[in-house]
Structure 1
C-alpha cells in the first residue's frame, strides 16, 4: 500500500513514519512536506519517498500513484484563525477533493477531541475545533472510505501501547503521540474502521484489540 502522508513533519506523522517502516514493510510512506530541508530527515526516519507540496497552493502532483491518504497536518490550537482556516479547514478539504479526483478511496484524518462539540472546548481554541468539525463533516460526506481519529491531549511521553477508544469520550484525557501513530497504523488497512469516527485517549486496552472492537 502506497500512502500519502500529509503534514509528514508533524510529531504524530513522524512517529507514524518510524513505526510503519519498522513494523509494516508492505506500507510505503510518501511523505508530503513544505520545505526541502526537511526531506533528508524524513527519508532517514523511513519514508520511501518525499514530495514537496504546500497546502496553501496546488497539491495535486502529490496524489499520483497513491492507494491511501493520511491527513496529519495541523496549524495547532494556538495559531491565529487565518492559519487555522488555511490548513485545518481549507487544506483538509482540498486534500479530500484531490483524493477523489485521483480515485483514491481510503482517507484517514487526524482530528481532535471536542471537534464534534466545539462549544464544549476551551474558548481559546474554539476556532480550531470548529475548523476540525467542518473538515471532518466534509470528509464524512465525501463518499470516501474514511476513518477520523480524534485524540485527546497530546504528550511526547513514551508509548504505552494501550488506549481507550469510544465514539465519544466525555472525560478529558491524555494520549502519547506515539500511541496515536500506532492507532493510525492499525486502522489504515483495517476495513472494520471504514466510515468510522472515534475519540481516543490513553487507557488499558491493547491498541490492536481496541481497534478490532471499533
Structure 2
C-alpha cells in the first residue's frame, strides 16, 4: 500500500513515517512544506514531496496521485492564531479530502482531537477555534465517499510509547504518547473494524491491535 503522510514533519507525523518505513507492507511518502525538511527526509532514504495546504485542490491532487491512502496529521500549531487554524486544520483538511477523492486515494485517516465531535465538551475551551476546526473537518470527512477512520487522541505527550491504549467512541479526557497515536494510526490502515468509524484514544491497558478490533 502506498501511503502519503500529510504533516510528516510534525511530531506525530515523524513517528508515523518511521513506522511505515519499517513495515515492508507499505511504501511511504512524506509531504512537507519546506525544502530543508524534504532534504532531511531524503538523506534518511525516505521519499518526500513538497506540498502546501493553502494551495488549491488541483495542486494537492497532483501530490497525492499514485497513492492508495492518505494520513492527515497536519496542524497549524500552537504558535499561530485562529486564522491559520481555519486555513490549515479546517480548509486544508477538507481540500486534502477533495484531492484524495480526485486522485483515487480512497483510504483516509484523520488525526483529530479527543471529543472533537462533542461541542459541549469544549464550549469553554481556550482553544475552541482548534476544536471547531477539527469538528467540521471530521464532519466533512464523514460526508465524503472516502473510506475514512477518524482517530481522536487525548493530550499528547513525548513519553515513550507503551503500545497499550483505550479506544472508544467516547472517553474522558486523558493523555497518550505521540508514539502510541502513531502506532494506532498505522494499525488502523488495514484494520477493517476501523473503516468509516471514529473514536477517542488515550493510554490504557489494551494492546493497540486488540483495542481496534474491540471498537
TM-score range, shorter chain: over 0.9
**Is 2:21 the counterpart of 1:21?**
yes
Q: What is the CA–CA distance in structure 2 between the aligned matches of 1:213 and 1:77, rounded to whole Å?
A: 33
Q: What is the CA–CA distance in structure 2 between the aligned matches of 1:69 and 1:205, rounded to whole Å?
A: 26
Could you say which residue in structure 2 is the equivalent of 1:163?
Answer: 165
Could you say which residue in structure 2 is the equivalent of 1:183?
Answer: 184
Q: What is the CA–CA distance in structure 2 between the aligned matches of 1:77 and 1:151, rounded to whole Å?
A: 16
Q: What is the CA–CA distance in structure 2 between the aligned matches of 1:36 and 1:55, rounded to whole Å?
A: 15
Aligned pairs for 1:124-163 (under 5 A) are: 124-163=126-165
TM-score w.r.t. structure 2 length? 0.94
Could you say which residue in structure 1 is the equivalent of 2:7?
Answer: 7
Show structure 2 runs of 5+ residues with no match: none
**Is 2:118 the counterpart of 1:117?**
yes
Q: What is the CA–CA distance in structure 1 between the aligned matches of 2:79 and 2:174, rounded to whole Å?
A: 19
**Is 2:77 the counterpart of 1:76?**
yes
Q: Is contact 1:14-1:45 (8 Å) kept? A: no
Secondary structure of the corresponding residue to residue 172 of structure 1 = coil
| Further displaced range: 188-197 or 133-142 | 188-197
Q: Is contact 1:18-1:45 (8 Å) kept? A: no
Instruction: Report the number of matched residues.
Output: 211
Secondary structure of the corresponding residue to residue 148 of structure 1 = strand
When the two chains are superposed, the root-mean-square deviation of aligned CA atoms in Å is 1.4
Q: CA deviation at 1:113?
A: 0.7
Aligned pairs for 1:41-120 (under 5 A) are: 41-44=40-43, 47=46, 49-57=47-55, 58-77=59-78, 79-120=80-121
Q: What is the CA–CA distance in structure 1 between the aligned matches of 2:97 and 2:30, rounded to whole Å?
A: 17
Q: CA deviation at 1:60?
A: 2.0
Q: What is the CA–CA distance in structure 2 between the aligned matches of 1:35 and 1:9, rounded to whole Å?
A: 9
Show structure 1 runs of 5+ residues with no match: none
- Structure 1 segments (4+ residues) deviating >4 Å: none
Q: What is the CA–CA distance in structure 2 between the aligned matches of 1:158 and 1:45, rounded to whole Å?
A: 22
Q: Is contact 1:110-1:149 (8 Å) kept? A: yes
